[in-house]
Amino acid sequence: MSEEIAVLRAELAALQAKVQEHDDVLALIRLQSAYGYYVDKTQYDQAADLFANDATLEIAGRGLFRGQERIRQYLHALPKLQQGTVFNHMQLQPLITVAEDGQNAQARWRAFIQIGWVGREARWGEGTYENRYVREDGVWKIARLHFFTTYYVEYDRGWNQGGVPLAPPLPGVDPDSVATVNYGAFPDVFVPPYHYPNPVTGKPWKPA
């Protein structure tokens, strides 16, 4: 009987771990999706509140910002939603890896972007996030947001005419450090490193 109880307890513990991982994945999807919606509508304080106290943010070639308040400052330097503008940042294709400790996680996402100003310009954009997350005071928060631009192109010209250069630092908002990865947007080719191994072979990612 004692052996059967031990087996049942082990099975219960395994099931509880599976349920917790499932809940964590859903919470992380909700977190990253909320970030996209807040940035869409330029609700920058709401977006900044999603970051951990010592988080980092790095987007395109704009350098690295460290700490929630510096991230808030960066976000508020971005354009504001107003009549005649559109800023869509769709968060797609998540691949989430929760660490065994249940306190940390990583995720790769794809963002599809539409931005435009009436009578001025309209652009398509696409890129990849390789993010980290941390459970802070029992709540999942963004620990590192790193967005790699694949392309920005003018809507009326398309990508066959080439892309817009990688976004440089914002005027008047100096980063805390330079970009940690040097790369170019389309027409250059760059594959952000995968945080996860091949799910079938188990082989880690290696650069081509």
Residue 180 forms part of a structural domain: no
The pLDDT tens digits of the residues spanning 120-139 come to 999 999 999 999 999 999 99
Domain that holds residue 87: 2-161
CB 75, CB 35: distance < 8 Å: no
* Domain-located, residue 204: no
Report the percent of the chain where pLDDT is more than 90: 83
Number of domains in the chain: 1
Task: Tell me whether residue 200 is in a domain.
Answer: no
CB count in 10 Å sphere of residue 16: 10
What share of the chain has pLDDT > 70, as a percent? Answer: 97
In a domain, 181, yes or no: no
Residue 158 pLDDT: 87
Give me the CATH number covering residue 20. 3.10.450.50
So what's the pLDDT on residue 135? 97
Residue 185 placed within a domain: no
Q: What is the pLDDT of residues 51-66, one digit of tens each?
A: 999 999 999 999 999 9
Strands 51-59 and 139-154: parallel
pTM: 0.92
Residue 92 included in any domain:
yes
